[in-house]
A and B are shown apart, each in its own frame.
Chain A
């Protein structure tokens, strides 16, 4: 069945450094979604990518969908302490599979 792998599992950065998490699917996806979960909270939908090679930006966050629609990345420029949390990708191939998430911690 469909597998969605996400790396790294953990990332610790100094405030102001950049951060990237990567998501890879074993199958071609119809679309991919990204979520953020603050510590002790629930996942919150950030964005959806649908087109091959699509790039979307939300302030300091940049989301990319690979040309083959099997991988994606989330890049945060100049991290802030408010970026702390776990970032999940979710790939859709007739059902939605979540990656294991990347837990980001930011040292002030």
Chain B
């Protein structure tokens, strides 16, 4: 089992560029989510999905889009990168939204210049 796989591990973008962060899980988890982690602010929820075809916004959704066409994949799209989006991004999955522990991917460190 690979668990939760995130790609890329590192990325540098110029302001205004767009990109997609990939997340895939092989545990048949219904719940998937994206977090950003900034120093001193813990993990903040960007978007989440409770199943294929269903997505919803978290605490900090602005500037990001998601889709969930399959159970396995949950990509995060940055529409027009800004320096404020410099962060470490984690994808997580679980059997449901809060009744089971989350499995996190290894993260993507994004720098926007």
Interface of chain A, helix or strand or loop or mixed? strand
Inside 8 A of A25's CB, which chain B residues have their CB?
A: none
A105 lies within 8 A of chain B by Cβ: no
- CB-based A-B contact count at 8 angstroms: 55
Binding site for B on A (CB under 8 A): 6, 9, 30-31, 33, 35, 41-45, 47-48, 88, 90, 92, 94-101
Chain B residues contacting A43 (CB-CB under 8 Å) are 43, 90, 92, 102, 104
Prevailing SS type, chain B contact patch: loop
Indicate whether B67 reaches chain A with its CB closer than 8 angstroms.
no
Residues of chain A within 8 A (CB-CB) of B105 are 42
Query: Counting CB contacts under 8 A, is B10 at the interface?
Result: no
Task: Give CA–CA (A99, B97) in the complex, Å.
Answer: 17
Contact B42 A96 (CB under 8 A): no
Q: Provide the residues of chain B in CB contact with A33, threshold 8 Å.
A: 101-102
B98, A31: Cβ atoms under 8 Å?
A: yes
A9 to B102, alpha carbons, bound, how many Å?
A: 22
Tell me the nearest residue of chain B to A89, going by C-beta.
B42
Would you give 9 A-B contacts (Cβ < 8 Å), ordered by A?
A42-B107, A45-B103, A47-B101, A95-B48, A95-B58, A95-B98, A96-B45, A96-B102, A101-B42
